[in-house]
Amino acid sequence: MNDSVNIFSVTGMTCDGCAQTIKTKLELESEISKAEISFSSTKLIIHSSKKYKSEELNKIIKSVGNYTFDIEKNVNSLTSLFVYFRTYKPIFISLFFVVILSIVSSFNELFNIKDFLRFFMGYFFIIFSFLKLHNVRQFAVSFSNYDPITKKIPNFGRIYPFIELILGTLFLLNFFTLFINFATIVILLPQTYGIYNKLMKKEKILCACLGTSFEIPLSKLTIIENLTMCSMATIMIVIYFNSSL
């Protein structure tokens, strides 16, 4: 399920330590995936699988201090969207560059959808693999939390960034097109299944899609990314066989 975003005003904090105490206590709740709070802003942003009322939070936090939460009355869907974008900003920025590079690269007098798909998949793998290569060992540990293949074959997590890099390069060079499209589906579908299971169990796990440099909660966004790539690979396979007829 997608996390809902609730924003509250906080009273009773006297220092940054109070903010950290509140954050730690709230994130112990199984329904809360992330709590953002600072002493300076006196605002609490909660990412959770259910919509919290201020009374519920006051009850949860009662044991650690005399703090009070009041839900922000002026919060609207636009604010929630802004908070969501801020949380997943590194992913959106990376995808933005992938799309721009793909559009520019696929224009050869006229826009070519086949080339766009190929370039999109190529740039996607290359950009995301570079971020994973920043710390391969840490990535492998984080990746094993939800990737079924890495759970059974731990070393797969260590070579996975290099697999993405090779696939990305082959997509851009337009080499072994049938093989790399099948390979894309083979590595991404099990991963997507693993992510889905973790989300259904409401486990709090960081997404390893951008390596370990960014603390991004695992969410449906990664499932959408993977299924989009698998769909593109499927379309490319269909195009390949149609052109062979």
Instruction: Mention every residue, 6+ apart, whose C-beta is less than 8 A from residue 49.
Output: 1, 3, 4, 31, 33, 202
Q: Which pLDDT score is estimated for 4?
A: 72
Q: Which pLDDT score is estimated for 206?
A: 87
Q: Which pLDDT score is estimated for 86?
A: 81
Query: Distance between CA 75 and CA 8 in Å, rounded?
Result: 9
**What are the residue ranges spanned by the domains of the chain?**
4-83, 88-244
DSSP state of 51: P
* Structure confidence by residue, pLDDT tens digits, 17-32: 888 999 999 999 888 8
Q: Which pLDDT score is estimated for 73?
A: 55
Q: Which pLDDT score is estimated for 148?
A: 96
Q: Which pLDDT score is estimated for 78?
A: 61
Task: Give residue for tokens 């199984």.
Answer: 30
**What's the average pLDDT block by block, 10 residues per block, for the chain (245 residues)?**
73 88 91 85 82 87 87 60 82 96 86 91 97 93 95 94 98 96 97 94 86 87 96 95 78
| Contact criterion met (CB below 8 Å) for 64 and 25 | yes
Decide if domain 4-83 falls under CATH 3.40.50.11690: no
Q: Which pLDDT score is estimated for 109?
A: 65
Q: Which pLDDT score is estimated for 2?
A: 54
Query: Distance between CA 196 and CA 129 in Å, rounded?
Result: 22
Q: Which pLDDT score is estimated for 48?
A: 85
Widest pairwise Cα distance in the chain: 73
